[in-house]
A = this chain, B = another copy of it.
Amino acid sequence: MERPDDAGACAGRMRDRAATRQRILDSARELFTSEGYEQVSSRRIAAHAGVNVALINRYFGAKRGLLAEVIAEDAVFPGIFEGDPATLPQRLAEHLTGRVLGPGTPLQRALEHSTGDPDLRSVYEERLKSALIEPLAAHLGGPDARARASLVAGVVLGMGTLRRAEGATALLELAPDDLAERLTRIIEQCLERSAA
């Protein structure tokens, strides 16, 4: 099967499955990121992509599948496990702080608005599990690895949720460096091995 490499530039190709699919995906990512999953309707995504609404369900099963594909593209904490294991908490804290203070990644911003529907929660949690908890647990090793990784995930989740809320304002009362150091210690605490 050979495919035209210049599908985007080719004016002759009116009906290009791959290109259409990609346009939908691009529109979804853009709109989910800026406005949140639940705030963007299927029809709006389709209109933005210049495509019929029904194609969303044709190509992605449902709106939900579109979200799953969008969030599957991006890493939650890209490259977080590269480097000295001893300074992992610090790196995590800095990622987290960057988000508390800054705009956050598109993925995270998209997820921030979209955890109400159980259907979505499962998509989100699947991603949190596969992108954070499991690799972190593997990284840690030991019998309590999954539990300790989950504690970290809980902190990550909570601080992320707080980001846009009142909490962010309060958290900004701390100097950025101070905040990062606090989060480092909190995460270290999460990762501490059981005394038993």
| Interface, chain A (partner B; CB < 8 A) | 36-39, 113-118, 120-121, 125-126, 128-129, 133, 137, 143-144, 146-147, 149-151, 153-162, 164-167, 170-171, 173-174, 178-179, 182, 185-186, 189-190, 192, 194, 196
Task: Please tell me if the beta carbons of A116 and B120 are within 8 angstroms of each other in the complex.
Answer: yes
Distance A120 CA – B133 CA, assembled complex (angstroms): 28
Q: Which residue of B lies closest to A153 (CB)?
A: B167
Task: Please tell me if the beta carbons of B174 and A147 are within 8 angstroms of each other in the complex.
Answer: yes
Quote the shortest CB–CB distance from A162 to chain B (angstroms). Answer: 5
Task: Please tell me if the beta carbons of A154 and B158 are within 8 angstroms of each other in the complex.
Answer: yes
Interface centre among A113, A126, A137, A158 (most CB of B within 10 A): A158
Of all A-B residue pairs in the complex, the 5 with the closest CB atoms, nearest first, are A116-B116, A158-B158, A154-B158, A157-B158, A150-B170
Knowing A178-B196, A186-B189 touch, does A156 contact B153 (C-beta < 8 A)? no
Distance A161 CA – B159 CA, assembled complex (angstroms): 11
Distance A133 CA – B173 CA, assembled complex (angstroms): 14
Task: Please tell me if the beta carbons of B156 and A118 are within 8 angstroms of each other in the complex.
Answer: no
Knowing A173-B146, A174-B147, A190-B186 touch, does A114 contact B113 (C-beta < 8 A)? no
9 A-B pairs in the complex with CB atoms less than 8 angstroms apart = A37-B116, A113-B116, A146-B173, A149-B170, A151-B182, A157-B158, A178-B194, A182-B189, A185-B189
Tell me which residues across on chain B come within 8 A of A117, comparing CB atoms: 38, 116
